[in-house]
Amino acid sequence: MPPRLRAQVGGLNSLAMPFDSPALVFTFAFAAALLIGLLVKFWLATRQMRHVSRHRDRVPSPFESAISLEAHQKAADYTIAKTSFGIVEMAWGAAVLIAWTLLGGLDFMNKALLGWIGGGLLQQLALLSAFALVSGLLDLPFTLWQTFRLEERFGFNKMTLRLWLLDGIKSTVVGALIGLPIAALILWVMGATGAFWWLWAWGVWMAFNLLLMSIYPTFIAPLFNKFKPLDDAGLAARVNTLMQRCGFASKGLFVMDGSRRSAHANAYFTGFGASKRVVFYDTLLRQLSPPEVEAVLAHELGHFKHRHIVKRMGALFGLSLLGFALLGWLSQQSWFYGGLGVQPNMNAPNDALALLLFMLAMPVFGFFVAPLSVRLSRKHEFEADAYAAAQTSSGDLKAALLKLYKDNASTLTPDPVFVSFYYSHPPASERLARLGSS
Ligand SMILES: [Zn+2]
């Protein structure tokens, strides 16, 4: 433990009395934020389900000619099933969070590992790994249910149990290979660089993120999917002309076998520098005509033209700096540990504990600012749509959006309040209305 904290913890006599009063106040604030957040989420989910089921019997008039009643009802049922699954998941998540913190799960794990390995970098790494492992196992039933029950029921799941297991093993191994060295580096920085460690740790974390983004398309994504160069010459010519017209260079057009796992369709523009590439899901190419694919890609290019990616990265950098500064301060407060059910170590570093508690507690308080970020995202989607309409044709983009909403069984009648809290993309009705009636 850094000497600063040791002195303070001793001063507050928090070993003898872990729940001194600032800790109690923090426990109370945490529990209140968690409870209010749960109530708001539950209220939003029930609103959404009620709203969707109220509009289940009739296709909204602007879509009458394009969407059948059957497709509309499938979307309604899928939305309701997903939302009620979300409620169960949310309740489970809250129970697990309380078990980790106030009920002493993390404290128990920390002490057990201390007794076993002793204090030091190895113990801290073991704590992070054990936490990740147990969390992953606790989420497992939900991932299984979602893939093999929920998605399966609506015909979206294309995964076999074997592929699912293989994915799980691969991502655990890749996660450990990438995660352990960076965790060790951050923990070392926290312990070795003095009072401003959080600034150094932030620098390391940002550099790591940039590195990950640049190696992801070429080294990590291919571990999970096959990427083949786009062999449709007509479509490739179309896409290349579009990219030239918009002033983009790319290192290639690829088709990804998304259909191995799911029937949901997508396209993305990924990487930066030399590894920049356009990736189409095979499912997308199957569902859309070439002009529609072109319009979807133009939308993605719109995000680049309007510098949304750079802005989002800037926001990420800024918010992470704030986060690390906050963590730097919190990790020195004994009430931060005591208030979340953990006794800080007296003769060993507390850095891993501080990291974990921060990761657990932040979303509870951060939930209330989430609507701001999705609101900005919806604004960006409108801008990208407008760009695509100008570069290609709004008719093609509208046709493509309609097909994608239909094939993904996205509801056309979401609850407006639910939308304002959660939707990173505007609902179909708003997007199509903005694209005009051409
Ligand atoms: Zn977009």
Instruction: Give distance in angstroms: CA of 239 to centre of ligand 1.
Output: 17
Contacts of 319 (CB under 8 A, 6+ apart): none
CA distance 79 to 121: 46
Model pLDDT for residues 307-337, shown as the tens digit of each residue: 998 898 899 999 999 999 999 999 999 999 9
* Distance in Å, CA 323 to ligand 1 centroid: 27
- 3-state DSSP percent of the chain in helix, strand and coil, to 5: 75, 5, 20
Q: What is the pTM of this model?
A: 0.87
Provide the pLDDT for residue 184: 97
Ligand 1 centroid–CA 52 distance in Å is 24
What is the pLDDT at residue 270?
Answer: 73
Q: How far is the CA of 274 from the centre of ligand 1 (A)?
A: 23
How far is Cα 295 from Cα 384, in angstroms, rounded to an integer? 11
Distance from residue 29's CA to the centre of ligand 1 (Å): 37
> What separation in Å is there between the alpha carbon of 311 and the centre of ligand 1?
14
What distance in angstroms lies between residue 297's CA and the mean position of ligand 1's atoms?
10
In the chain, count H helices and then E strands: 19, 4
Measure 303 CA to ligand 1 centroid, in angstroms: 7
360 CA → ligand 1 middle, Å? 30
Per-residue confidence (pLDDT) for residue 75, from 0 to 100: 94
Q: What pLDDT score does 269 carry?
A: 73
Say what the pLDDT of residue 436 is: 84
Ligand 1 mean position, distance from CA 381 (Å): 5
Ligand 1 center from residue 389 Cα (angstroms): 13
Q: How far is the CA of 306 from the centre of ligand 1 (A)?
A: 11
Say how many Å lie between the CA of residue 351 and the centre of ligand 1: 38
Beta strand segments in 175-315, E? 227-229, 253-256, 267-270, 277-281
Tell how far the Cα of 41 is from the centroid of ligand 1, in angstroms.
25
Confidence (pLDDT) at 66: 87
Measured in Å, residue 290 CA sits from the centre of ligand 1 at: 19
Could you give the CA distance from residue 251 to residue 227 in angstroms, rounded to a whole number? 13
The token duo for 382 is: 């409108």
Ligand 1 center–CA 251 separation, angstroms: 21
Q: Is the dihedral of CA 12, 18, 23, 24 positive or negative?
A: negative
- Ligand 1: centre distance to CA 391 (Å): 15
Could you give the CA distance from residue 357 to residue 360 in angstroms, rounded to a whole number?
Answer: 5
Strand order in the sheet with 267-270: 227-229, 253-256, 277-281, 267-270
Instruction: Give the tens place of pLDDT for each residue, 259-295.
Output: 889 888 777 777 665 557 888 999 999 999 999 999 9
Taking 90 as the threshold, does the pLDDT of residue 151 lie above it?
Answer: yes
| Confidence category of residue 12, pLDDT binned at 50, 70, 90 | very low
Please write the tens of the pLDDT for every residue from 199-242. Answer: 999 999 999 999 998 888 888 999 999 999 999 999 999 999 99
CA of 435 to the centre of ligand 1 (A): 14
Q: How many Å lie between the centroid of ligand 1 and the Cα of residue 316?
A: 18
Q: Please tell me the distance between residue 301's alpha carbon and the centre of ligand 1 in angstroms.
A: 9
**Does the pLDDT of residue 166 top 60, yes or no?**
yes
Compute the distance from residue 384 Cα to the ligand 1 centre, in Å: 6
Between the CA of 124 and the centroid of ligand 1 the distance, in Å, is 40
What spacing in Å lies between the alpha carbon of 15 and ligand 1's midpoint? 52
Rounded mean pLDDT of the chain?
90
Centroid of chain to Cα 318: 18
